[in-house]
Amino acid sequence: MPNPIVFATHNNHKLQEVAAKTGNQLQLLSLTDIGCTEDIPETGVTFRENASIKSCYIFNNYKVNCFADDSGLEIEALNNEPGVYSARYAGEHGNHEANIEKVLNNLKGIENRKARFRTVISLIWNGEEHFFEGTVNGTIRHERVGAQGFGYDPIFEPEGYTITFAEMSMEEKNRISHRAIAMEKLIAFLNAL
């Protein structure tokens, strides 16, 4: 397994999830570890474009093997909103409560609560870019339940479960989450090198 690798994020929740998922398989470095304090603009219109923008920025400026993800919630009845705007759906970036409130308001009176979380990872390894994707289907609850996780976790119930992501331990969520699925593909790719 090649080491080390930079995960291009300033989001500590994402970092903890990925570190828990990879265990000792990867020597994971954060943007802070390489001295990157810039907020890399996500100007793409797809998860793939945003993930690529971030990983290319880090590779081009720091010359390190790295990966970046872009993830979001896609709700069928809302034309797959919030999608790439998941983190800033209600306007302010990272205001989880306001984002959840907007989703719940937009779904008032709508029976179809089908949704999915999607992650696309862009890995740049030795100058070559590779993509890995993970998806988990589920439904949107009518109210928040649970205190774990982050983002939309309190209103997302994954298919086959009767609890939300926010009611799961990190270990449970890491077995089935969109990011976990994409990371498993990335780890398998690196293990095959």
**Which domain, by its residues, includes 56?**
5-191
What pLDDT does residue 25 have?
79
What pLDDT does residue 24 have?
76
Q: Give Cβ neighbours of residue 169 (< 8 Å, ≥ 6 apart).
A: 148
Catalytic residue positions?
70
Considering only the C-alpha atoms of the chain, give the largest distance between any 2 of them, rounded to a whole number of Å: 51
What pLDDT does residue 170 have?
86
* Residues 179/114, Cβ–Cβ less than 8 Å: no
Residue 167, phi then psi, degrees to nearest 5: -95, -5
* Residues 172/149, Cβ–Cβ less than 8 Å: no
Low-confidence ranges of the chain (pLDDT < 50): 1
Q: Which CATH number does the domain housing residue 182 bear?
A: 3.90.950.10
What pLDDT does residue 183 have?
94
Distance from the Cα of residue 167 to its chain's centroid: 18
Q: Give the separation between CA 69 and CA 64, rounded to whole angstroms.
A: 16
What pLDDT does residue 18 have?
87
3-state SS, residue 124: strand
What pLDDT does residue 15 have?
85
**Domains contained in the chain, number:** 1
* pLDDT, tens digit, 9 for 90 and up, residues 17-51: 888 888 777 889 999 999 999 989 889 999 999 99
